Amino acid sequence: MRMDIARTNLRVAFEEPGCPICRLRAGAERRYVQTLLYEYVNDGETRVGFVRSRGLCSYHAWFVQANEQLLFSDGLKTAIIYESVAIQVHDALQHYLAQPISPAGEGSARPTPFAVERNGLCRWLVRAGRLGRWAATHLFREAPAAGLLADLSPSAECPVCKKGREREEIDLRKLMDELADPQFRAWFRASDGLCLSHLRRALAYAPDELSAHTLAEIAAEQFTALLTHLQAYIEKHRWNDRPELRTPQEEASWIRMAAFFAGEARDDQDESLRQVRQQALCNYSAGLSGRAKLERSADHDV
């Protein structure tokens, strides 16, 4: 019997509730964050990556903060991660403010580097001669503070998102490769199935039409069952709202349907992470309150 790590991970995920790819991605991101906090906060290449991505996306920024509170009851590692990013942003702002302000109209009659690089029409106009260049300067004028905007914008993906996306690609390709195996198909068929986003991506990785058809057939069976439970849940609310008549599958159907369209709920739903984040904010607020009292007392003494 064929077994490897990716196949085994998928089989285990099939036995858990929810989209298996969402679950595997969340696990990969969680392990990466924990490894980062334990081992790589001071790694030079890692810190350069955070500078390029201008820190973390909103979700993972708070995820890292909460995990450090949970693991170390401290915020030093998060502070170190953001120090290099903060210095870069500070330097960009100071460099911009040190430049003289151009008089109105000056410096705006040329295409932005971003427009020339990314916009095909702009590139064509610039190459089309004097009239084309004139049109480009009027259609794609440089915005105020374009250089500062470029300096403040990320040039790379959030490192944790990148790690999760790479995990997704590995698992989706493995899923499609293994669908030809009857035993693997049976494991997958018994699972909750993929959310809509991962279903679309899995179809894009299909090696042939048969694999795509097999995936669509299993997804249709799973989704039909979910829709049936959802409709029964709605219908039984019309019977004088008698919850004792609803099955566990029906009771969970509205949550499962939301997860199908939106993906599984992220780890910020974890109560322990919410609690440590809230405690950190409460401690911060208490510190601000205490400082304000000291300042008022000092003003009164004066």
Say whether pLDDT at 113 is over 50. Answer: no
Q: For residue 46, is pLDDT > 90? A: yes
Is pLDDT above 90 for 103? no
Cα–Cα dist 140/15, whole Å: 54
Domain boundaries, the chain: 5-93+156-262, 109-143, 270-301
Beta bridge mates, 61:
none
Report residue 16's pLDDT band, with 50, 70 and 90 as the boundaries.
very high
Indicate whether 108 pLDDT > 60: no
**pLDDT category of residue 4 using cuts at 50, 70 and 90:** confident
pLDDT, average across residues 44-57:
94
Which of 72-81, 116-125, 183-192, 244-253 shows the lowest mean pLDDT across its residues?
116-125
Task: Name residues whose C-beta falls within 8 Å of residue 139's C-beta, 6 or more positions apart in sequence.
Answer: 121, 122, 125
Residue 245 — pLDDT band, cuts 50, 70, 90? confident
Q: 206, 219 in Cβ contact below 8 A? A: no
Q: Residue 168 above 50 pLDDT?
A: yes
- Between residues 199 and 70, which one has the greater pLDDT? 199
* 111 CB burial (10 A radius; 0-12, 13-18, 19+): buried
- What value does the mean pLDDT take over residues 42-53? 94
Which pLDDT does position 146 carry in this prediction? 77
Tokens 């991605």 correspond to 25
- Residue 10: which of 150, 181, 153, 132 has the closest Cα? 181
Q: Note the Cα 233 to chain centre separation in Å.
A: 32
Query: Hey, what are 101's tokens?
Result: 């302000």
Q: What is the mean pLDDT of residues 176-182?
A: 96
Q: What is the pLDDT of residue 204?
A: 96
| CB 2, CB 37: distance < 8 Å | no
Average pLDDT over residues 139-166: 85
pTM for the full model? 0.77
- Indicate if the pLDDT at residue 302 is higher than 60: no
Per the CB < 8 A criterion, the answer to whether 275 and 206 are in contact is no
pLDDT of residue 142: 59
pLDDT at 2 over 60: no
pLDDT reported for residue 161: 96
Task: Identify the sign of the CA torsion 228, 229, 233, 236.
Answer: positive
